[in-house]
Amino acid sequence: MGKRKHHESATSAAPTTPAANPTDEPTAKRSRTAEPSEEEGPSPLGAPPQIPPNVFTKWTLSKITTTYPPLPEVLDPRLETAALTHRGRCSKPSDVSYEQLEWLGDIYLELIASELIAATFPMLDPGRASQYREMLVRNTTLGQFTLRYGLHKRANFPTEFDLGGRPNGTSASAKERIKVLGDLFEAYVGAIVRSDPVNGIRRVTEWMKVLWAPLLEKQILEAKKGKNPMDMQILPKTQLEQQIVVPGVRIEYRELPSNGKKDRDTNQPLFMMGCFLHGWGEEGLQLGYGQALSKKEAGQRAAARALENKKLIKKFADKKQAFMAAKAAGQGQQQQQPVTALTEVQGQE
């Protein structure tokens, strides 16, 4: 007797008396037809990917090249077709289109970009890291890859999207077309990964490393030479405070007009921050200024610019040294020494 299946009743699976006719149809088949298992059959989107160890390594100078690497293959032809097919061109409503794979590809590209940035720039401020990632995964960037590999020419989309390069007339705006071109690339990435759950992430990561490297060439070179200010062990703000600040003296970082300036790489607005000294006979003396994609990094650059004015910083550093020497000698009241010293300096000026 065969084993009883979970959807068979105890009565039908183990009768108390043998069946009179061995050709009788068992009730199990009726139950199987009536109650199909939800876990049967592969997913139309392929299998979830595995992430191999040591796949996210930092960018090296060898990845910076103007040569495009070969287009990776989608191992499942059905997913390749789906990645390039608009849902309005599907045979049945249940068919997979580019939209489902685009949603997955977007996630994979965000993950890969984040991991590569973290591996290459481990001390980078999170705000700046997000700006780097946005530059890599935005539609204008990915859309250029779609055009370079000719994915738009293979796409099965309605004519209003103008993906075939029709010379006249289109009902899709330039903004819509840019988004669709970016979405097609994300869908193709999703198809690569889901058609190759074991090695798909590794293949896409190595591919995107080469495609993205020229966009971050300057930053990769700076990281290689150790010139990225966010990678410094002691940040400029801390260095400046260590050199000139005592109780009663403070440094203020204040936003300044940026005059609409934008970053050359990301085309996003820049913040301007000024570095101002209060104390040592000064009230709001500007020591430096800096521009960056985030206020935090702009403040660091302002402090770095202040440190470059070695003559001015030495002047205040000498005052701090004299003050600390007087304090060590026990002159004046312990809590009032900074205020008294500052008052005396201000009175002399």
| Residue range 229-240, pLDDT digits in tens | 454 456 889 899
pLDDT in tens, 173-221: 677 788 888 999 999 999 999 999 999 999 999 999 999 999 998 888 8
Once rounded to an integer, what is the mean pLDDT over residues 135-163? 84
d(CA 52, CA 284): 54
Fold of 232-348: Double Stranded RNA Binding Domain (3.30.160)
| Domain parsing of the chain, residue ranges | 61-225, 232-348
The mean pLDDT value of the chain amounts to 78
**Helix (H) or strand (E) run with residue 271 in it:** strand 271-279
Among the ranges given (117-126, 232-241, 328-337), the one the predictor scored with the smallest mean pLDDT? 328-337
Contact 193, 49 (CB under 8 A): yes
What pLDDT sits at residue 164? 54
What pLDDT sits at residue 161? 62
Residue 88: burial class (beta carbons within 10 Å; 0-12, 13-18, 19+): exposed
Q: The tokens of 52 are what?
A: 């191999």
Contact 79, 195 (CB under 8 A): yes
Whether domain 61-225 has CATH 1.10.1520.10: the reply is yes
**Could you tell me the pTM of the whole model?**
0.55
11 or 56, which is more confident: 56
Q: 3-state class of 264 per DSSP?
A: coil
What pLDDT sits at residue 15? 40
334 or 325, which is more confident: 325
Which letter does DSSP use for residue 68 in this model? P
pLDDT in tens, 19-52: 444 444 444 343 334 444 455 556 777 777 788 8
pLDDT in tens, 267-288: 678 899 999 999 999 999 999 9
